[in-house]
Amino acid sequence: MKAVLWQGTNHVSVETVPDPTLLLPSDAIVRVSSTAICGSDLHLLDGFIPSMEKGDILGHEFMGEVVEVGRDVKTLKVGDRVVIPFNIACGTCDYCQRGLFSACDNSNPNHRMAEALYGATSGGGLFGYSHLYGGYAGGQAQYVRVPFADVGGFKIETDLPDEQVLFLTDIFPTGYQAAENCNIVRGRDVVAVFGAGPVGQFAARSAQMLGAAKVIIVDRFPERLRLAAEAGIETINYEKEDVLIALKEATGGRGPDHVIDAVGLEAHGHGPGALLDTAQQKMKLTFDRITALRWAILSCAKGGTVSMPGVYGGLVDKLPLGAAFAKGLTFKMGQTHTHRYIRPLLAHIEAGDIDPSFVITHRAALADAPQLYKTFRDKHDGCIKVVLNPWGEAAQGVKQA
Amino acid sequence: MTNIQKSGFQEAARKAFFQGGNGGQMQDTERVAVGALGLGLLILGLGGGAGRRLLVGGLGLGLTAVAVRGSNPLATAIKVEQNNAGQTLISEAVTVNKNAAELYDVWRDLDKLPNLMSHLQSVVVLSEKRSRWTVKAPLGSVSWEAEITADEPGKRLAWASLPGSSIDNSGEILFRPAPGGRGSEVVVRLKYRAPLGTAGVVAARIAGQEPAQQLRDDLMRFKREQELGFAPTTQGQSSGRAGGAK
Ligand SMILES: [Zn+2]
Ligand SMILES: [Zn+2]
C-alpha cells in the first residue's frame, strides 16, 4: 500500500510499504477513504516530538471501511463505515470507564518511555504520533490497523459524506472539549479564542453551540479570521491591534469570561536535560508561542476559565501566575477524550447544527502529501485544512476548495 | 545482568526493608567501569535518531561526569536505593481493576508466574513452601531455591532465597483494595544483592535490564493481562523501515 512516511525533520515522503495485518484478535483493518493533515503533525515535521523513527507512518485523522476483523471483535463487521478517534483507548481500564479515554492506562506499549518524561503513569497510545505515544502506524495510508477496534471504531450509518464526519476523529471534539471545559453560561458568557487554526475554528463554533453570548477569535492570518467571521464570530488581528486593549474594549472592560488557548507550544520536547537544551535553542519560537497563553491569562475576566486544547510539552516560564491567582482563574487542559464526543457531535452534524467541512481549503491525493505538509506549515495559499484521498490519482495536482 | 524480581522471599517489615537508604561511595574499579560505560553510551548516542541521541547521549554524559567526580549522584537521581548491607531495594505498585482475592490467586499459582513475567524462565514448585526459580541471564540462566516466608491469602505473600543461593534476594507482594471501587493496589518490594554494586545497578538500569525497570514492565504486563487478557503491541506492524516491520 501507499503511505506517508516520516523520514526526518522537514522530510516526509510517500512510499509503498507492506499492507497492515491483524496483530491481535481485537484488531481490525480499515481501508482508508479519507485522511487529513493535523496541525499537530507539523510538530512532527519540525522535529519537535522526540522518538520518531525514520519510516514511521504518519496520520491520526482518518476514516474508512472495515475490511478485516480479528476474532474478538464484536461490534464491527466487514463493510462497516467507521471513523476512528486519534487516540487509542482500551475501554476497560478505570480511566476509560470514567470517560477519560486519552488517559487510558493500557493502550501504550511504550509506557515506560512516556513515564520517564512525564512521571506517574503514561497517557494512552496515539496513531502516527511517535514512539512515546506507542509507536502505532498512522492513517495517512491506504490501509490502517485499528487496535481495540470495538472501542475505537465508530460506525457511521447515515450517508453523510466523509468530509462532514472525518473531523470527528480529532479537531472537532478537540475544539468542542475546549469549549465545554469553559462551563459557558448560556446567553451570558463571552468567550475569546486564541488561534484561528482548525481547532480554534471548532472551539469558537462549539462555544456558539454551547450558548456563548459572544465569541471573539484572535489570529493574524486574514483568511482564518474571515472564515470565523462568516459564522458571526468577532475577530481581532493581533498584528493590527493591541490584543489586550482590543479584548478589554470588546468586553466593556471585564475581559472575556473564558479564554481558549488553541495555539499551544511549538517547542514540544523536554525532559532529560539535553532535550531541554534543544528547546532552549529554539527559544525565540518557544517565546512566541507562550505569548498566547500569557495573553489568555492577562485578558481573562475574574473567576473565568483558561482552557488549553493547544499542546504543551515542556517547561514554561514567565507565566503570569500572580494574575491568574488574583483573578481566581480555573485552568483546564489535556488531550481530547475523543471517544466521548463522537456520538453527540455526530448528532449535531446530522441535525444540521454544523457542517465541519467548512475548514477544508485543500483536497488532494495522498501522493501530494509532501508538498501539502509544506503548504500547510507555511500557511501558503490560504491553507487552513488539508484532506487527502489515499486512492486518488497521484500527481494530479492540488485542487483548492 | 540477571533478573530476579520475583525470586526469593523473606518476611520483613517495611521499615527494616528500607532502612539506611544510601547512594553509595564508589570504588576505583567502579569508577572505571562507570566511566567506560558513560563513554560508550556517549559514542552510541552519536548515532541513531534524535530521541535516542538525546536520551542515550545525555545519560552517557551524566555517567562520564559521575566517573570523573567519583561520587554517584546518578544513583540518587535515578533512585537506586541501597541499605547498609549493600543490598539494593526496589518497590513498585500498580492498580488493577480486579479484586484482591482474584489477583492473589493468580500470583499464588507460582509455576504459572513465567507467563506473567517475561524475564522468568521457570518456577518449579517443590513443596508447599519451597520452589526452584530460574531466570534468563546474559550467559545462560541462573537458578536458586526460595521459600515462602509469609502467606496471607488475598492479602500478602513474602519469600526469600535459601542460604547459599547464587543470588541472595527476598521480597513481598501486597494486595489491597483500592479506594472508590477501582479494583486493587498491588505493591511489590524486593531486596537483592546486585553484581558490581551500585555501578552495576546504574548501568543495568540505563540498559533497561535492571530489576526496577523489569518489575515495572512486569507489573504493567500483569495489569494488562488481568484487565484486557493480552498486551497491546505494535510488533509486526507496517512501516517504511527495511523489512517493513517494527
Ligand atoms: Zn491532531
Ligand atoms: Zn483504557
- A35-60 mean pLDDT: 91
Query: Is residue A119 scored above 50 in pLDDT?
Result: yes
The per-residue pLDDT for A264 is 78
Helix (H) or strand (E) holding A338: helix A338-350
pLDDT at A399 over 60: no
Contact indicator for A366, A140 with CB cutoff of 8 Å: yes
User: Of A115, A103, A49, whose CA–CA distance to A270 is shortest?
Assistant: A49
Query: Per CATH, which fold does A2-170+336-389 belong to?
Result: Quinone Oxidoreductase; Chain A, domain 1 (3.90.180)
pLDDT in tens, A288-302: 357 889 899 999 999
Percent of chain A whose pLDDT exceeds 70: 91
Average model confidence (pLDDT) across chain A:
91
* pLDDT score recorded for residue B126: 95
Confidence of residue B173 (pLDDT cuts 50, 70, 90): very high
Contacts of A347 (CB under 8 A, 6+ apart): none
- Asked if the domains at A2-170+336-389 and A171-333 fall in one CATH topology, the answer is no
d(CA A256, CA A206): 16
CB A30 within 8 A of CB A41: no
More confident residue, A19 or B208: A19
Q: Could A106 and B213 be called an inter-chain contact, meaning their C-beta atoms sit closer than 8 Å?
A: no
Asked if A52's CB is within 8 angstroms of B51's CB, the reply is yes
Put simply, whether B183 touches A (Cβ < 8 Å) is: yes
Q: Is the pLDDT of residue A270 over 60?
A: no
The residues, any chain, with a CB within 8 Å of residue A33's CB and separated by 6 or more, are A63, A64, A65, A81, A162, A389, A390, A391
Q: What is the pLDDT of residue A50?
A: 79
What's chain A's length in residues?
401
Contact B240 A5 (CB under 8 A): yes
Measure B60 CA to nearest chain A CA, in Å: 11
Could you tell me the pTM of the whole model? 0.82
- CB pair distance less than 8 Å for A137 and B227: no
pLDDT at B139: 62
Closest in B54, B224, B239 to A275, CB measured: B54
Test mutation, B228, B230, B241, B246, chain A, max A CBs within 10 A: B228
Q: How far is CA B24 from CA A376, B19, B202, B205, in A?
A: 54, 14, 12, 16
CA separation for the pair A68, A65 (Å, rounded): 9
Grid cell digits, residue B54: 538525546
Is pLDDT larger for residue B111 or for residue A91?
A91
A38 close to A140: Cβ distance less than 8 angstroms:
no
Domain range list for chain A: 2-170+336-389, 171-333
- Tell me whether B116 touches chain A (CB under 8 Å): no
Mean pLDDT along residues A341-357: 97
Task: Please state which of the ranges A69-73, A200-204, B15-19 shows the lowest mean pLDDT.
Answer: B15-19
Residue scoring higher pLDDT (B141 or A88): A88
Strand ranges (E), A248-396: 258-261, 305-308, 330-333, 362-365, 386-389
pLDDT per position as a tens digit, B59-90: 555 555 444 444 444 544 455 667 777 788 88
Number of helices (H), then strands (E), belonging to chain B: the values are 8, 8
Q: Cβ neighbours of residue B211 under 8 Å, at least 6 residues apart?
A: B3, B4, B5, B88, B90, B190, B192, B204
- The architecture (CATH level 2) of A171-333 comes to 3-Layer(aba) Sandwich (3.40)
For β-strands A214-219 and A190-194, DSSP reports them as parallel
CA distances for B136 relative to A8, A74, B139, B231, angstroms: 37, 38, 8, 21
Chain B residues touching A18 at Cβ < 8 A: 238, 244-245
Q: Which stretches within chain B are classed as H helix?
A: 14-18, 28-46, 50-69, 73-77, 100-108, 113-116, 197-206, 211-227
Inspect the interface and report whether the beta carbons of B238 and A19 lie closer than 8 Å. Answer: yes
Q: What is the pLDDT of residue B207?
A: 53
pLDDT in tens, A9-45: 999 999 999 999 999 999 999 999 999 999 999 988 9
**Which element (helix H / strand E) includes A116?**
helix A111-118
Weakest mean pLDDT among A48-52, A250-254, B232-236: A48-52
Beta bridge partners of B135: B120, B142
What residues of chain B lie within 8 A of the CB of A50, using their CB? 50-51, 54-55
Rounded CA-CA distance A185/A180 in Å is 11
From B245's Cα to the closest Cα of chain A, the distance in A is 8
